[in-house]
Amino acid sequence: MLHRWLEIASTPSVKAERERNGSAAQYARVDGTLDRTGPVRNDRFGDAESEFIAGRDGFYLASVSETGWPYVQYRGGPIGFLRVLDDRTLGFADFRGNRQYVTAGNIATNDRVSLFLMDYAHRRRLKIFGHLRMIDRTADPELVASLASSEYSARWERAALIRVEAFDWNCPQHITPRFTQEELEPMLAPIREEIETLRAENQRLHHLLGRKA
């Protein structure tokens, strides 16, 4: 059974490094080294991937320039702004930033991109290989509008469509847990309630002691 993400990532130089470091056998049966027959895994999103993507409020996007330099940027927005359009397509409305247009320029000559989606709180991450296409708002305003969020105050310039080639779930090792304000709220709510209870009790005691004095 072929693992599509590993097939793409397992270049000859990568396989050579695995040989040198003793991990070649661990991956040989899923990266196409030994067996390319049978069904292909990790090339189409399932329920787990769709649910994970829908819960993200940002991701890291990597592209490569025509001079060979990699570029990584962070794309953020309201939860769910990156949408699963079907089992092999992602889409999002791209809003105006600092207007450097590095990613837009890079994909004009090489549309290959890599995405990292992080859930720091639960120490999970999803890696995606795909091909990115930008569609200007003036060319297809209905598409951009369908991907944009009316609850987010940003100027949407274009639609971004990613044709997914493969994905891979990474292990949780070395992911430092971090929490958003929304993720912290359920943990902080009981503490706030306890503080309010103690404050009320403190005021009651102060009032009682004042009367006795």
Query: What tens digit of pLDDT does each residue of 56-83 get?
Result: 999 999 999 999 999 999 999 899 999 9
pLDDT of residue 137: 86
pLDDT of residue 1: 66
pLDDT of residue 62: 98
Residues with Cβ within 8 Å of 107's Cβ and at least 6 positions away in sequence, in order, are 63, 113, 132, 133, 134
pLDDT of residue 188: 85
pLDDT of residue 126: 97
Cα distances (Å, whole numbers) of residue 82 to 86, 147, 193: 12, 8, 35
Which two three-digit tokens encode residue 2? 């072929």
Which residue ranges in the chain fall short of pLDDT 50? none
For residue 59, list its beta bridge partners. 75
pLDDT of residue 32: 82
pLDDT of residue 12: 95
Q: Give how far the C-alpha of residue 38 lies from the chain's centroid of Cα atoms, to the nearest Å.
A: 29
State the Cα–Cα distance between residues 38 and 201, nearest whole angstrom: 69
Residues with Cβ within 8 Å of 87's Cβ and at least 6 positions away in sequence, in order, are 44, 45, 46
pLDDT of residue 212: 64
Residue 150: how many CB atoms within 10 A of its CB? Answer: 7
DSSP code at position 39: P
pLDDT of residue 80: 93
Q: Mind spelling out the 3-state secondary structure of 124-179?
A: EEEEEEEEEEEEECCCCHHHHHHHCCCCCCCCEEEEEEEEEEEEEEECCCCCCCCC
Q: What is the pTM of this model?
A: 0.85
